[in-house]
């Protein structure tokens, strides 16, 4: 690898960031023009009961700020991929090596990103039109279906049946169980998408995660995957520019579903497929998402079994908010944890 390889990674990130910044005035106009926010504040907990503590904390924050800000992220990513692919076809000698859409590395994560983003947008649309969004089970079926297709592709087309696993030497061969395991990872990451709950929180967390996998893919010579991650990072940074308090719009489902599905595929592509440990370091790199999912599971289990809460409100970042921490303090500390976790994860992946 040389300096040109590094430019292949940095350039998509810069282009996606500029696309995102330039596209935002139009997106802002459309979202505010059509009042693309929830008509009524309030949230239902995962166990079906009213989220009373959350609603008290956020009763004035959910109405008036548009959803679907995730369009900025995946829109900038797709525009960047399309522009570099077009330039590569127009001038192969000059730009051909900059294009990062490839059958071997990026088709599958791009498909996952697009499908998740479109279904997520439908959910956002129904939400802002007062129809409550798509039912949770419908969204879970969509995520599971996309994951099933991607898992089958890994198993059947790529011949991947093993994963990296801590504390054992060599790969862990799952055989046909690779497919349900892949689906479980996808659903777990999607469950972590509820981290989109405070201004600036999700953008900073996802930016650290995709930056980490861009680094892992780069050092494993999976340059197209690294470029895709870098483009997503650029889109996320542009989104974060407008999502810091007070947020201009929220990432919402069109962002979180698309990003978590794409991330799932990238994680497995940077695992044994790329002769690396992308899966093994996922719980470290995505520690804030893991904490989000675990806190939700513990809260639901405790309420169902013991009729008692573990946290004042779940997920964990809202618990800190309920304790009296200012939202900006929760967000910035999560950013710090995300960066440190990403650095540790990348370091372990490169050992």
Q: Are 93 and 277 in contact (CB under 8 A)?
A: no
How many Cβ atoms from other residues are within 10 Å of residue 201's Cβ? 27
What is the chain's mean pLDDT, rounded? 92
Instruction: Name the residue ranges covered by the structural domains of the chain.
Output: 3-277
Work out the burial of residue 245: count CB atoms within 10 Å of its CB; fewer than 13 is exposed, 13-18 middle, 19 or more buried.
exposed
* Helix-strand-coil split of the chain, %, nearest 5: 70, 0, 30
Report the Cα 234 to chain-centroid distance in Å.
13
Backbone angles phi, psi at 279, to 5 degrees: -80, -40
User: Residue 95's pLDDT is what?
Assistant: 84
Confidence of residue 51 (pLDDT cuts 50, 70, 90): low
Q: How far is CA 56 from CA 43, 186, 201, 325, 329, in A?
A: 10, 32, 19, 15, 19
Q: What is the mean pLDDT of residues 337-351?
A: 96
Q: Specify the DSSP element, H or E, that contains 163.
A: strand 162-163
Q: What is the DSSP code (8-state) at residue 43?
A: -
Confidence of residue 266 (pLDDT cuts 50, 70, 90): very high
Q: Give Cβ neighbours of residue 337 (< 8 Å, ≥ 6 apart).
A: 287, 288
Q: Are 240 and 94 in contact (CB under 8 A)?
A: no
How many Cβ atoms from other residues are within 10 Å of residue 137's Cβ? 8
The pTM score is 0.95
Q: Are 149 and 264 in contact (CB under 8 A)?
A: no
Q: What is the mean pLDDT of residues 245-253?
A: 92
Does a cis peptide bond (omega within 30 degrees of 0) precede residue 315? yes
Confidence of residue 45 (pLDDT cuts 50, 70, 90): low
Whether the CA torsion 166, 167, 173, 177 is positive or negative: it is negative
What gap in Å lies between CA 304 and CA 299, rounded to an integer?
A: 9
Residue 2 pLDDT more than 70?
no
Q: What is the mean pLDDT of residues 291-310?
A: 92
């Amino acid at each position: 690898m040389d300096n040109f390889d590094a430019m292949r990674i940095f350039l998509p990130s810069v282009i996606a960031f500029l696309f995102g910044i330039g596209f935002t005035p139009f997106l802002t106009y459309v979202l505010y023009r059509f009042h693309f926010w929830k008509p009524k504040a309030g949230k239902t907990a995962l166990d079906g009961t009213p989220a009373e503590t959350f609603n008290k904390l956020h009763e004035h924050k959910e109405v008036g700020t548009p959803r679907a800000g995730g369009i900025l992220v995946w829109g900038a990513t797709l525009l960047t991929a399309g522009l570099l692919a077009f330039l590569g076809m127009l001038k192969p000698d000059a730009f051909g090596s900059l294009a990062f859409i490839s059958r071997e590395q990026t088709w599958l994560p791009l498909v996952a990103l697009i499908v998740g983003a479109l279904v997520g947008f439908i959910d956002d649309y129904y939400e802002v039109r007062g129809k409550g969004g798509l039912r949770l089970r419908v969204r879970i079926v969509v995520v599971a279906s996309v994951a099933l297709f991607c898992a089958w592709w890994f198993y059947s087309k790529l011949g991947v049946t093993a994963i990296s696993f801590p504390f054992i030497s060599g790969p862990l061969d799952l055989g046909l169980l690779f497919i349900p395991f892949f689906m479980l990872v996808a659903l777990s990451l999607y469950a972590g998408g509820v981290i989109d709950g405070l201004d600036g929180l999700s953008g900073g967390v996802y930016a650290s995660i995709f930056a980490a996998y861009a680094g892992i893919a780069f050092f494993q010579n999976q340059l197209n995957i690294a470029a895709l991650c870098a483009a997503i990072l650029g889109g996320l940074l542009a989104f974060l520019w407008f999502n810091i308090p007070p947020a201009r719009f929220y990432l919402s489902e069109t962002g979180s579903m698309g990003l978590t599905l794409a991330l799932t595929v990238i994680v497995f592509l940077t695992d044994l497929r790329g002769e690396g440990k992308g899966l093994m370091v996922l719980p470290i790199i995505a520690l804030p998402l893991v904490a989000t999912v675990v806190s939700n599971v513990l809260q639901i289990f405790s309420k169902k079994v013991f009729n008692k809460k573990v946290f004042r409100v779940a997920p964990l970042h809202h618990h800190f908010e309920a304790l009296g921490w200012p939202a900006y303090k929760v967000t910035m500390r999560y950013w710090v944890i995300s960066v440190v976790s990403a650095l540790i994860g990348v370091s372990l992946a490169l050992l």
